[in-house]
Amino acid sequence: MTTIAKKKKIVQMDPTELMEDLLKKYPTKVARKRAKQIMVKEAEGAETPEMGANVRTIPGIITMRGCTYAGCKGVILGPTRDIVNITHGPIGCGFYSWLTRRNQTYTETDADENFMTYAFSTDMNENDIVFGGEKKLKQAIMEAYELFHPKAIAVFSTCPVGLIGDDVHAVAREMKEKLGINVFGFSCEGYKGVSQSAGHHIANNQIFKHVVGTKEEIKVGEFKINLLGEYNIGGDGFEIDRILDKCGITVISTFSGNSTYDQFATSHTADLNTVMCHRSINYVAEMMETKYGIPWIKVNFIGAEATAKSLRKIAQYFDSPKLTERVEAVIAEEMPTVKLAMDMVRPRTEGKTAMLFVGGSRAHHYQELFKELGMRTISAGYEFAHRDDYEGRHVIPEIKVDADSRNIEELEVEPCAESYNPRKTPEEIKNLEEAGFTFKEYAGMIPDMPTKSLVIDDLNQYEAEKLIEIMRPDIFCAGIKEKYSVQKLGIPLKQLHNYDIGGPYAGFKGAVNFYQDIDRMVNSRVWSYLKAPWQEKPELSATYVWE
Amino acid sequence: MTLLRHTPTEIKDRSALSINPAKTCQPVGAMYAALGIHGCLPHSHGSQGCCAYHRSALTRHYKEPVSAATSSFTEGASVFGGQANLLQAINNIFTVYEPDVIAVHTTCLSETIGDDVPQITEKARQEGKIPDGKFVVSASTPSYVGSHVTGFSNMVMGTLKGFAEKTGKKNGKVNIIPGFVEPSDMEEIKRLAAAMGVRTILFPDTSGVLNGPLTGEYKMFPDGGTTIEELRSTGDSIGTLALGEWASADGAKYLDSTHKVPCKILDLPIGLKATDRFIDALRLISGRHVTDLIAHERGQLVDVISDMHQYFYHKKVALVGDPDQVIALTEFLTSIDMCPVHIVTGTPGKKFEARIKEITADSPFPVNVKAHGDMFLLHQWIKNDPVDLLIGNTYCKYMARDEDTPLIRHGFPILDRVGHQYFPTVGYKGGLRLLEKILDALLTRIDRDAKEDQFELAM
């Protein structure tokens, strides 16, 4: 299939027609399935149809999606520096998740543990598949213990582990007993669920079961929060920490950028859970509220305005004039630099268009930054988000868990006899809500999108090319697999997973970085070099007069 | 701050825990080989995570699009078999993406459950899911056997099995299986053969596929790649040169045993001696003379070796990578009087250690060598006996920084530099480039460390 770049931009194509165009080439059954995952955002007030999401991938369609292991080991546990994470499987899974996500971590000295630069694997061979790998796994845990003496060892199952029946949890229990350190396992075989999403859920469950609340160490701090679903890609978490610290807000734990085992173990001592990436971590937020009485709120530190708004929301929750004052002072101090950068860049970005197809949260969050640049999001979607991430959490009761995701465990959580402590009285909560405060609420991406934009779930290679061919956005946001095919078409692709080795993009400093990077990308001279001079002017007449 | 601070100097035997592998798994090699077929879409028959990881790894290495489809197994398929997934995938791929060939490889998932891909493919054919003039070939690539090099070799075999024919009418060409090397290396091998007037079928051939231009046009199936016609014709060739035993021997032997195309297995033509043997083999198999151009290039390489000899002599080197690459590099380094002292490949294979010992038999230093080893062990060796130079993939940069050792990036994957996809390291020209890189690394280090009075203008 060859798509020839068309220079002319079709500014206004009816999105409904566009949707039909996208589906035309598919076999009937595929077209029917895809039709449920492609929606036109209706005008404010009008109902946008139900979004088809979190359903199985169509075989052969060239999806952007990855697997459960990636969601569990790669995303959630990968960024924790002092746990030895052993992949139980053949070598690939451990190799590919070795330093390939840019979860930065900072330690004071060489004495602090940091295992993130290592890849640990049982490197299963044919014998292990035939006779089982439990013995090898035990031995591997033993060897890891003797070499590193870590605080904890975690074991991650890969595809064949479930099939051959290795019981990683029994091995973990036995080794925990034997070694006297925490050893726990994850049944995150790649085939579970339909995407990375199942892996998030499995990771949440096991961290909650095996680590959260296991250490009663009360950290000092007046306004104590957990930052959930922030993975410190390119230093995002560092920037958020800088801002929170400046405001006098103490971060007890981050799930899981720049995190340590002890942070998870003491996370139940915070007074508020703030959720950045709703998709990956809402399970822990919900469970911590039930078990420990810690309320959670959605925040967003992507975009300067969004950052300010989130800070104010946290201040409002703590209801302290001192904090409110401090937060306002920080915003007032930080904003001028941001504004200056925005004013510099905006004349060059105003009116341009963007498309965003990223994991399970950034396709929404980054629309904030594009708004600040005066850019319009004309299409967006997630790889693996659920309906609540698209439409808002109010649809959760309507969501039917289908056969492909039914086997992902739902933990039964009850209030903890010793530690349950509601941080707010029902009356305080009522007052806050009456003042417009929203607890445990995420309104989803669709409400924030411009009318008549296209929302597409689990976008594939074919649809990406079609979208670009027809709509010619000024920038396309996705990941490494999409980057170079899109750029071959002459459209810059901003990676919103690894930030093209840039960042941070969160917070105030991050916003400035982002403005500058987008300016560079959409205004780079390189995009004018695609045609050689002899292709632009193929006529030969000039040669006759050449002297 | 050291990056690999938990790596102890004391070496303890490990029987179960692999740390910082010097290999990855089969399917990525198969995917790479399949991209060397013109008009081919690689297909990963397993759960979709593998495919995403393999495409990402290749893309990060080449900074180019890497297309591949997957059967996207769910839990149900993993228990009851992935036939329905593959049949749907074949239908969808031919309808939507229209490749000429789908090259299916497997993963640990489909291999463990025992899916029979040729049988499923046959069913797809019977059900009319494979359009006329289109093909599906396959290879079994269990991730728990061998490494990515094994996967490359298996896909070479699978493709030849699917296409090679013997019509009895000789085509007058020489088959070359170039091994798991860069597109730039494949280009160089073709250039050398062409310079001698030898007509070749190079398979697989990723040049023009994974080092393509930016023109404003995206071609999922770029102009490069070995054509189906050429692949069919491999059965009618004069003979096959297999470059690199691990990656290429099986395919060559298959053509020999099945279609009576005689084969010769050579080392990868990296460095002076291995390139000499390659050129000589080309000469003998084709009956063509070695041209002045090639002799000239050889002379230039020898010239630089002699010019810069003082910087090479008895410098210690640590080497890690794929066996075919590492064997050839060890020989090259030894031939210029450098001393490889720590040598690791992650790929299993007993022959490796024996071969390295043979090449380094005259070394003035003790030599550590391990097949199926890992970079953790290599790092420990380096800590115990430091080296002047480290050669390996991007993951070596962590060791290089910790030990303050100059690093030359070679092999797969190189995630943090470009050049490998455009400039070869095979042939005499490639040898020159390697020498330039080695010298640059060593001389930059001398400059950096030189005291004020010993800082030299000319080297």
| pLDDT single digits (tens) A461-519 | 999 999 999 999 999 999 999 999 999 999 999 999 999 999 999 999 999 999 999 99
B chain contacts of residue A163, beta-carbon cutoff 8 Å = 78, 109, 112-113
pLDDT band at A14 (very low <50, low <70, confident <90, very high): confident
Interface test with B, best of A6, A25, A91 (most B CBs within 10 A): A91
Q: Is the pLDDT of residue A523 over 80?
A: yes
Q: Is the pLDDT of residue A3 over 60?
A: no
Q: At what angle do helices B148-163 and B245-259 cross, to 10 degrees?
A: 20
pLDDT band at A543 (very low <50, low <70, confident <90, very high): low
Mean pLDDT of chain A: 95
- C-beta neighbour count of A489 within 10 angstroms: 23
CA-derived radius of gyration, chain B: 23
Min Cα–Cα distance to chain A from B286, Å: 38
User: A275 by DSSP, 3-state: which?
Assistant: strand
Q: Is the pLDDT of residue A185 over 90?
A: yes
CA–CA dist A94, B19 (Å, integer): 10
| Res A544: pLDDT | 56
Give every CB contact of residue B371 below 8 A, 6+ residues apart in sequence.
Answer: B323, B345, B347, B348, B349, B350, B352, B353
| Res B256: pLDDT | 98
Where do runs of H (alpha helix) occur along B196-341? Answer: 228-233, 245-259, 272-286, 292-307, 309-312, 323-335
A58 touches chain B (CB under 8 A): yes
A chain contacts of residue B8, beta-carbon cutoff 8 Å = 147
Q: Tell me the DSSP string of A370-386.
A: HHHTT-EEEEEE-SS--
| pLDDT single digits (tens) B247-292 | 999 999 999 999 999 999 999 999 999 999 999 999 999 999 999 9
Contact B73 A164 (CB under 8 A): no
Contact A61 B69 (CB under 8 A): yes
| pLDDT single digits (tens) B21-40 | 999 999 999 999 999 999 99
Are A25 and A43 spatial neighbours (Cβ–Cβ below 8 Å)? no
Residues of A tagged active-site: 67, 70, 101, 200
Q: Is the pLDDT of residue A4 over 70?
A: no
CA–CA dist B157, B138 (Å, integer): 9
pLDDT band at A48 (very low <50, low <70, confident <90, very high): confident
pLDDT band at A536 (very low <50, low <70, confident <90, very high): confident
A chain contacts of residue B216, beta-carbon cutoff 8 Å = 4-5, 488-490, 530-531
Residue B191 amino acid letter: R
Interface test with B, best of A55, A96, A483 (most B CBs within 10 A): A96
How far, CA to CA in Å, does A122 sit from each of A382, B6, B81, B344?
Answer: 33, 19, 26, 18
Nearest to A191 among B15, B74, B145 (CB): B74
Q: What element of type H or E holds B260? A: none
Token match 């001028």: residue? A336
A chain contacts of residue B66, beta-carbon cutoff 8 Å = 481
| Res A47: pLDDT | 86
Min Cα–Cα distance to chain B from A3, Å: 6
What is this structure's pTM? Answer: 0.97
CA A296 centroid distance within chain: 18
Min Cα–Cα distance to chain A from B38, Å: 13
**Dihedral in degrees, nearest 10, Cα atoms A139, A142, A144, A150:** 150
Residues 361-420 of B with CB under 8 A from A: 376, 395, 398
Over range A88-105, report the average pLDDT: 98
Min Cα–Cα distance to chain A from B249, Å: 22
Length of chain A: 547
Are B402 and B3 spatial neighbours (Cβ–Cβ below 8 Å)? yes
| pLDDT single digits (tens) B174-228 | 999 999 999 999 999 999 999 999 999 999 999 999 999 999 999 999 999 999 9
